Amino acid sequence: MNSPVATHHFQPLDRTPAQGGEPMRVPALLPGTPGRAVVDTTWGTIQPIQLHPDVRTVGELEVIEQLRSGLPLIDTRRPAAFAAGTIPGARSLPHTELGERIGELDPMAPAILFCNGPQCAATPNAIRLLIDRGYPALALRYYRGGMHDWVTLGLPIAPGASSRASH
């Protein structure tokens, strides 16, 4: 017997930079201090853990296994953010270009999508668009921690190479 999926409607938690300036959207490594980063926690709208009943939310270990398996890891941030630094092995498919580039994803190869982290709406918006256009939700994974958690855990980053998301 199938249990009904509980749905909750949470109020978004919007945050703005405490300093009144432009937020630092990606953690910055501190020069000369290996393994230390500065994190700006004052921007964005905190996103839910579960975006859709059929889209699994994953953590860093699943991301690492995805890369080891040769399956797609998709960075949904804008090209400049991707070029500045991403998870090694990730491919760029900006949420702003997804409508035109949806054919670059293979629904037979489960893809993990990520952006800047729990306060970034790029990946939730991308996943919503994909599902609205008929892409199978079961083929999508959401790495909610994104660059924020990846960097703060001391995991490696690399400049993003210009590429398309095709697998």
Nearest-angstrom CA–CA distance, 56 and 49:
9
> What pLDDT is recorded for position 120?
87
pLDDT of residue 49: 80
Over the chain, what is the mean pLDDT?
81
pLDDT at 127 over 80: yes
Pick from 90, 59, 56: nearest CA to 75? 90
pLDDT tens for residues 61-118?
999 999 999 999 999 999 988 988 899 999 999 999 998 999 999 999 999 999 988 8
Query: For the whole model, what pTM was predicted?
Result: 0.77
- Residue 145 pLDDT grade (very low, low, confident, very high; cuts 50, 70, 90): very high
Residue 129: Cβ-neighbour burial (10 angstroms; 0-12, 13-18, 19+): middle
Chain mean position to CA 83: 15
**Who's near 132: CB < 8 A, 6+ residues apart?**
none
| CATH architecture, domain defined by 51-167 | 3-Layer(aba) Sandwich (3.40)
pLDDT at 16 over 60: no
- Among the residue ranges 8-12, 108-112, 123-127, 141-145, the one predicted with the least confidence is 8-12
For 155, residues 6+ apart whose C-beta sits below 8 A from its C-beta are 60, 87
Alpha-carbon distances, residue 152 vs 6, 28, 29, 159 (angstroms):
32, 9, 9, 17
